[in-house]
């Protein structure tokens, strides 16, 4: 009887404490990550974004922008920005390793709740509808990025970049967080499935084996390039034929 009771007690105690230990270990690991991120932040980011992420005249507040915004901005090399004066912080090679970016993201996320870094399941190609993605891209993104994502100029020296070689994860994060002059598309505007469809569309139109079925793609720059081609070569050809016919009839009359 005593033995049974002792066994039941140990079992019970184990059940109570073991998961708590595991959760606690995870919690300490998480706070260590945040600590490391805080150190990196103090050196690389605080001069513009303020010591507690509250923002300064050289950079906006980062409270509530979330891990997704940090992962996007730092992994695409936009941050740390070289100066706060240029029209737009451009994409450039990343300064931090992915492990450091995760630490920075964990620190900024600890300042205020914001969108988390998306998982592969969210931005991966499984179950995506490419045709629907094309439709969504043309209605939501093409006015700035052109209809196959080749990019285009905006006002005041700003521009929407070419999306050809952008990592699917960063496309997802750009939609989620809306960097600089781009509007954000939270899940209430474009659902996870919508975002997945758009990413699959971009990958399809930019992959090497999506040859243009009509022949020459003219750089996929859209109606302006195609219209110009039509005017110069189409109309030009018609004029040349008209001149040739006129010259021939004039000659025939003479002789």
CB of 168 to ligand HEC, least distance (A): 9
Nearest to 141 by CA among 166, 106, 111: 166
Please tell me the distance from the alpha carbon of residue 234 to that of residue 252, in angstroms, as a whole number.
27
Q: Which of residues 52-71 bind ligand HEC (CB under 6 A)?
A: 58-60, 62, 65, 69-70
* 98 exposure class (CB count in 10 Å sphere: 0-12, 13-18, 19+): exposed
CA 73 to each of CA 15, 18, 21, 107: distance values in angstroms, whole numbers, following the listed order: 43, 39, 35, 15
Please tell me the distance from the alpha carbon of residue 79 to that of residue 38, in angstroms, as a whole number.
16
The CA R_g of the chain, rounded to the nearest whole Å, is 28
Q: Which span sits near ligand HEC by CB under 6 A: 120-128, 160-168, 221-229, 230-238?
A: 160-168
Decide if residue 110 touches ligand HEC (CB under 6 A). Answer: no
| Residue among 74, 109, 176, 200 that touches ligand HEC (CB under 6 A) | 74
Reported as half-sphere exposure (CB side, CA atoms, 13 A), residue 177 has a value of: 24
Decide if residue 181 touches ligand HEC (CB under 6 A). Answer: yes
| Residue among 33, 170, 196, 201 that touches ligand HEC (CB under 6 A) | 170
| Residue among 28, 57, 83, 126 that touches ligand HEC (CB under 6 A) | 83
Q: Which residues bind ligand HEC (CB under 6 A)?
A: 44-45, 47-49, 58-60, 62, 65, 69-70, 73-74, 76, 78-81, 83-84, 88-89, 91, 104, 140-141, 143-145, 154, 158, 160-161, 163, 166, 170-171, 174-175, 177, 179-183, 185, 198
């Amino acid at each position: 009887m005593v033995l049974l009771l002792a066994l039941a007690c140990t079992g019970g105690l184990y059940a109570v404490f073991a998961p708590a230990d595991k959760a606690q270990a995870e919690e300490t690991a998480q706070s260590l990550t945040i600590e490391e991120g805080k150190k990196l932040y103090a050196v690389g980011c605080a001069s513009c974004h303020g010591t507690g992420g509250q923002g300064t005249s050289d950079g906006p507040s980062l409270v509530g922008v979330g891990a997704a915004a940090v992962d996007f901005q730092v992994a695409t090399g936009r941050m740390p920005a070289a100066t706060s004066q240029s029209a737009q912080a451009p994409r450039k090679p990343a300064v931090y390793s992915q492990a450091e970016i995760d630490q920075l993201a964990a620190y900024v996320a600890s300042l205020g709740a914001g969108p988390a870094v998306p998982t592969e399941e969210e931005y991966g190609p499984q179950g995506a509808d490419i045709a629907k993605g094309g439709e969504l891209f043309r209605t939501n993104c093409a006015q700035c990025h052109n209809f196959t994502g080749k990019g285009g100029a905006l006002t005041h020296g700003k521009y929407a970049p070419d999306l050809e070689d952008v990592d699917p994860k960063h496309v997802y994060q750009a939609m989620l967080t809306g960097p600089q002059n781009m509007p954000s598309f939270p899940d209430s505007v474009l659902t996870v499935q919508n975002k997945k469809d758009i990413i699959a569309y971009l990958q399809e139109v930019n992959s090497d084996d999506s040859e243009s079925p009509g022949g020459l793609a003219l750089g996929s720059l859209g109606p302006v390039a195609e219209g110009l081609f039509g005017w110069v070569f189409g109309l030009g050809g018609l004029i040349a034929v008209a001149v040739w016919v006129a010259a021939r009839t004039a000659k025939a009359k003479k002789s």
